[in-house]
Amino acid sequence: MSAPLQIGLLVFPKVTQLDFTGPLQVFASVPGAQVHLIWKRIEPVPSDSVLTLTPTVSFADCPQLDVICVPGGAGTDDMINDEEMLEFLRRQAKGAKYITSVCTGSLVLGAAGLLRGYRATTHWTAMDFLAPYGATPTKTRVCIDRNRVTGGGVTAGIDFALTLVSILLDRPTAEAIQLRLEYNPAPPFDAGSPDTAPPEILARMKERNAPGQQRRSEANRVAAARMA
């Protein structure tokens, strides 16, 4: 009897909950898989919304994972310079079968030195921050480069997770999970990408995001300089 798949998703302060709850729902449907929510300590972790998260295992007690996944959110601006987080990722990456992320979680993988020489994707607002980590930015919803699998922004996490299940197991298993979740997107507006959103909406979002982009730029500058 084969050992169960060990799948771990990181949680951290100001994580975007949908970045990992989408994949979590998919991974929780994988027969026999053991899914972990991981943080430094077992303590409540505030997300970027009203939801507070409870880790299931600490860094110190986490088993060797087959899949490690870093979600994104405003909290990644702190995680890219958090040596305890980065060292945990490096340590786990040595034995993991797949090293993955959703949204700006790819920047944390990059800061840990785990995307150098790999293609990767991220949220559309963060694409320019991948190259300084030695990654090749790839504008796609799910990017697969050997054992690095990265998802685009937020809702792409479900596509990412279903794709990864098809790789880990098989397509029929992934399709059955998709049907169970009734994942059949039909968005009410064609505004989910900067390529299709109305220009005035795109301009509004860029203006709203400007302060956060400035903070993210500085945090990534520090992280990339540390790796140089």
- The pLDDT of 115-135, averaged and rounded, is 98
- Please tell me the predicted confidence (pLDDT) of residue 228: 78
* Integer Cα distance of 89 and 84 in angstroms: 9
User: Structurally, how many domains does the chain consist of?
Assistant: 1
Give the structural domain span for 136. 6-227
In a domain? residue 123 = yes
Helix (H, G, I), strand (E, B) or coil at 150: strand
Quickly list H helices, 8-155. Answer: 17-27, 76-79, 83-93, 105-111
Pick the catalytic residue: 62, 69, 103, 143?
A: 103
In a domain? residue 211 = yes
Express each pLDDT in 12-57 by its tens digit.
999 999 999 999 999 999 999 999 999 999 999 999 999 999 999 9
In a domain? residue 1 = no
pLDDT above 80: residue 60:
yes
pLDDT above 90: residue 227:
no
Clarify whether 103 is annotated catalytic. yes
Q: Enter the pTM of the model.
A: 0.97
- Please tell me the predicted confidence (pLDDT) of residue 193: 97
pLDDT above 70: residue 1:
no
- The pLDDT of 112-126, averaged and rounded, is 98
CATH number, position 99: 3.40.50.880
Express each pLDDT in 67-76 by its tens digit.
999 999 999 9
In a domain? residue 15 = yes
